[in-house]
Amino acid sequence: MTRDEIAERLAAVGYIADGELATALALMQMLRRPLLLEGEAGVGKTEVAKALAALYETELIRLQCYEGLDQPAALYEWNYQRQLLAIQAHQGQSGADIEDRIFSEKYLLERPLLAAIRRGAPPVLLIDEIDRADDEFEAFLLELLSDFQVSIPELGTIVATSIPYVVLTSNGTRELSDALRRRCLYHYVDYPEVDREARIILARIGGIGTSLAVQIAQMVDSIRKEDLRKVPGVAETLDWAAALVGLDVRDLHDAPEIVQETLMCLLKTREDKARLTPEVTARLLGKVA
Amino acid sequence: MSAHAPFRVENSGGDPDSLIALRLAGFLATLRDNGFAVGPGEGEDAATLIASGHASHPALLRSAFKHLFSSRKAEWDRFDGIFDAFWLGKRVRSRSMIAGAQKPADSPSLKSLRDGRAEHGGTQALDQAPSLDDAPESGGEGRMEGASQAENLADVDFRKLNDPEQVAQAHAAAARLAKAMRTRLTRRNLARHRGPQLDLRRTIHANISRGGVPIELMRRRRKDKPLRLVVLLDASGSMSLYTGVFVRFIHGVLDEFREAEAFLFHTQLAHVSDAMAERNPARALDRLAMMAQGAGGGTRIGLSLQTFNRWHAARVIHSRTCVMIVSDGYETGDAKLLGREMAQLAKRCRRIVWLNPMMGWEGYTPDAAGIKAALPHIDLYAPAHTLRSLQALEPYLARL
């Protein structure tokens, strides 16, 4: 797929991409490199992987990283309980037979990483919030991402039947290693500009008018420029738009009280709520067309 | 960089693609000069991109290269400028970005930083801290009196070191101290590994060979994160007598600790870990002097902390982080802001240590507005005007 085709199909599956993302996805396909997405929380990094899966009409396999994530939880694990049951059920048999039996595929629990390389058609593998995992896991992942094969001592080496499209996301709570960064294509996801955010609202919220969508996007844009502890992301914008539509608001200027009351969809800390007083909200509303 | 031909090559008669490929090597070198980690793998991929027709339009090539070559936000933001300068011959705002050349430092407080002993910093220090030296005595508890006449270097106040040789000795001692701290802190970490909890899953796995009878018990150990040290160093005029020796100390810390980050602030904050990674301390100081350029008068501690909390804290601070602020606490900005940001910082990290060189001065009381606002949030407030006072910190850090 060329870059332009990708841009078209992204729009068709309901993902409003910024101009350069289509390039990134085209390069991913061409160079077979993983894509590392960085950006503030809530700018839609995870959505990129979902859109990619929809684009190629393939499965999305997701690995959520957390502190202490290790190989058994990410790659594979033997089903010990079943193995024990099997050993006891076949007490009379020879050791070699039992061994062959319990170290077969049937007793192997497939975790996301192994699943991703054993599919018929290449799936999209989303490794979410890689910065939350430990350094050791990152190093292990690096090896997997370059060889796409896994060796299981009891079973042998499993070579990938298909190379997945790998998307990694990071919120920047920890500095990633240079080696991992170099391995990946890099794309920085920024908050969408007003025009694009309006189009996202229109695509996602049914029954919303174009003028209200633009107003909401403008309002959120100016709220982001205020000095806030927690800047609202796209998901928050969509929540707010849905709330306003639900409350039958047609124009932000008609309902300043509702705007003030529903700001809770956007502001998630006490300090931020205190900062956006009705006066501040009125000033920001004044800038909205 | 001006020696390179412009992007369009219609007149040169050669095949444009191969010419571009030739210049690609030059571009890769430029990127490396600008601190991009570019390896042969990226070079090959770039050649693939050019061969596949991405070179037909500069914007397309720029976007493709940007994804390929940049690997962090800072590089992502700078890439377009570097690309345009190289391929399209556009000038970027600062030439040094492209050439990678470093201008010599010229701002006064930085020069003193480089020399390590501030010839002209003295007057500045006096301007901002009037008559501190001869203020009436007031007995503070638990503080160390500085400036003893003993020959022992460990007890000599850094600002009383005049002889270049002594300065060099003090610097080396500071670096050694950092190294020693690190070894002791890590060893303690290792010794602490112990597990009270039974790991059932691993136990079953380990005892498969015994038919599932749990003979060999597997335990779960809590993994200790190594202590991370984040140092924020005040490089303003009033601190200039001390910055030299602390820069050496921090250089040692960064070199030896597995996890450490360093920031420098005066009126604004600069992340200096990369500059400090230079093995040679003298060159590290040079690079540092570059980064601290544009320092005006005064110290905006509150503002610098705000920048830190907003842009760096999430990345560099984890649950076992000790933040060490080295400053005299003379805030020229808003002391209330400093208090607020200190409270914010205290919520995030394990401990805040504030080292104040002036605390060792005879008759010093913490009555500057800045330090008063910050004090409630500080876990350890200690003097740091001699090597001995730096040494006294170690047992405290080891307990974290």
Q: Which residue range is the domain that position B385 belongs to? A: 153-192+225-398
pLDDT (0 to 100) of residue B394? 72
Q: Position A129: which residue type?
A: E
Cβ contact, residue pair A30, B49, below 8 Å = yes
Over chain A, what is the mean pLDDT? 89
Mutation for testing the B interface, residue in A20, A31, A130 having most B CBs under 10 Å: A31
Q: Is residue B174 located within the same domain as residue B80?
A: no
pLDDT band at B8 (very low <50, low <70, confident <90, very high): very low
Chain A neighbors of B223, CB-CB under 8 A: 68
Three-state DSSP class for A152? strand
In this structure, of A166-170, A242-246, B141-145, B223-227, the range with the lowest mean pLDDT score is: B141-145
Cβ contact, residue pair A175, B315, below 8 Å = yes
Chain B neighbors of A23, CB-CB under 8 A: 60, 63-64, 67
- State how far residue A186 is from chain B, nearest Cα, in angstroms: 5
- State how far residue B46 is from chain A, nearest Cα, in angstroms: 10
Quote the longest CA-to-CA distance of chain B: 85
Identify which of A19, A27, A173 has the shortest CB distance to residue B64: A27
pLDDT band at A215 (very low <50, low <70, confident <90, very high): very high
pLDDT digits (tens, 9 = 90+) for A58-94: 999 999 998 878 888 899 988 888 888 888 888 888 8
pLDDT band at B335 (very low <50, low <70, confident <90, very high): confident
- State how far residue B13 is from chain A, nearest Cα, in angstroms: 30
Q: Is residue B281 located within the same domain as residue B356?
A: yes
pLDDT digits (tens, 9 = 90+) for A146-176: 888 888 888 888 888 989 999 999 987 777 8
- State how far residue A41 is from chain B, nearest Cα, in angstroms: 12
Identify which of B48, B63, B201 has the shortest CB distance to residue A20: B63
Number of domain units in chain B = 2
Domain closes at, from A132, A160, A188: A188
Cβ contact, residue pair B60, A23, below 8 Å = yes
pLDDT band at A98 (very low <50, low <70, confident <90, very high): confident
Classify residue B82: in a domain, yes or no: yes
- In percent, how much of chain B has pLDDT > 70? 63
Cβ contact, residue pair A27, B67, below 8 Å = yes
Q: Is residue A58 located within the same domain as residue A152?
A: yes
Q: Are B353 and B322 in contact (CB under 8 A)?
A: yes
pLDDT (0 to 100) of residue A124? 95
Residues 45-74 of A with CB under 8 A from B: 68, 72
Q: Is residue B279 located within the same domain as residue B364?
A: yes
The whole-number average pLDDT for the span B24-47 is 86
Number of domain units in chain A = 3
CA distances from B270 to A105, B13, B234, B256, B304 (A): 54, 49, 11, 21, 9
Is B73 at the interface with chain A, CB within 8 A?
yes
The whole-number average pLDDT for the span B11-38 is 75
pLDDT (0 to 100) of residue B153? 58
pLDDT (0 to 100) of residue B384? 80
Q: Is the pLDDT of residue B133 over 60?
A: no
Domain closes at, from B84, B99, B114: B99
Q: Is residue B318 located within the same domain as residue B245?
A: yes
Q: Is residue A19 located within the same domain as residue A141?
A: yes
CATH code of the domain in which A116 resides: 3.40.50.300
Q: Are A223 and A74 in contact (CB under 8 A)?
A: no
To the nearest 10°, report the CA torsion of B175, B176, B180, B181. -30
Going by DSSP bridges, is the β-strand pair B269-271/B260-265 parallel, antiparallel, or unpaired?
Answer: antiparallel
Which residues have C-beta within 8 Å of that of residue A190, sequence separation ≥ 6? A18, A39, A43
Cβ contact, residue pair A182, B76, below 8 Å = no
- State how far residue A91 is from chain B, nearest Cα, in angstroms: 10
The phi, psi pair for A218, rounded to 5°, reads: -65, -45
B35: nearest CA partner in chain A: A178
pLDDT (0 to 100) of residue A88? 84
DSSP 8-state class, residue A39:
-
Q: Is residue B245 located within the same domain as residue B324?
A: yes
pLDDT (0 to 100) of residue B162? 63
DSSP 8-state class, residue B377:
G
pLDDT (0 to 100) of residue B185? 55
Q: Is residue A119 located within the same domain as residue A173?
A: yes
pLDDT (0 to 100) of residue B91? 58
Q: Is residue A53 located within the same domain as residue A132?
A: yes
Q: Is residue A216 located within the same domain as residue A159?
A: no
The whole-number average pLDDT for the span B164-189 is 64
Chain B neighbors of A3, CB-CB under 8 A: 60
Classify residue B260: in a domain, yes or no: yes
Its pTM stands at: 0.66
Which residues have C-beta within 8 Å of that of residue B206, sequence separation ≥ 6? B216, B218
Q: Is residue A105 located within the same domain as residue A90?
A: yes
Cβ contact, residue pair A30, B52, below 8 Å = yes
- State how far residue A252 is from chain B, nearest Cα, in angstroms: 31
Q: What is the ipTM of this complex?
A: 0.81
The whole-number average pLDDT for the span B49-60 is 82
The whole-number average pLDDT for the span B253-272 is 79
Q: Which residue range is the domain that position A47 belongs to? A: 3-69+111-188
Mutation for testing the A interface, residue in B28, B36, B67, B312 having most A CBs under 10 Å: B67
Classify residue B308: in a domain, yes or no: yes
